[in-house]
Structure 1
């Protein structure tokens, strides 16, 4: 394999590891931060990924941009829809447990 192709392969492999790290980082930050900080983080990461897409000219970078964007939108919307539904259920479970054991 020519040296140039090995370099391109190494750059793409490094980039994929970087993308996996970013996805894990996004998931952890989504669990710990507010909506505004999450949106700022998504905008920053998407900007970086779009720049990398322009540099490497690979469709996989663009695919990761779309996946991360959709993951963030779905995660936050589901999180905001499910939590209000789970709070009354949690209160009912705690009340039933307290009545039974106290």
Structure 2
């Protein structure tokens, strides 16, 4: 797995809307440093790091990055209480 992905994963889930602007910008920079496409292992590692909301659209960036990898990432339907992002990925076939 590439170091850029490991760095993003090591920082945990995306922050919520109440995070400091600098924290959100740092996470955007991390995502933008990951070149596309991602591998299957990288997509599987990234899929668990969605936060509690869309983080000012950063969650969409993460979703689109995951979709560049081999599909589907989520092979089984998400549990009803799963993140809205997991439901989206499953429904989109990624």
TM range (shorter): 0.3 to 0.5
Q: Which has the higher helix share?
A: 1
TM-score, normalised to structure 1's length? 0.35
TM-score, normalised to structure 2's length? 0.37
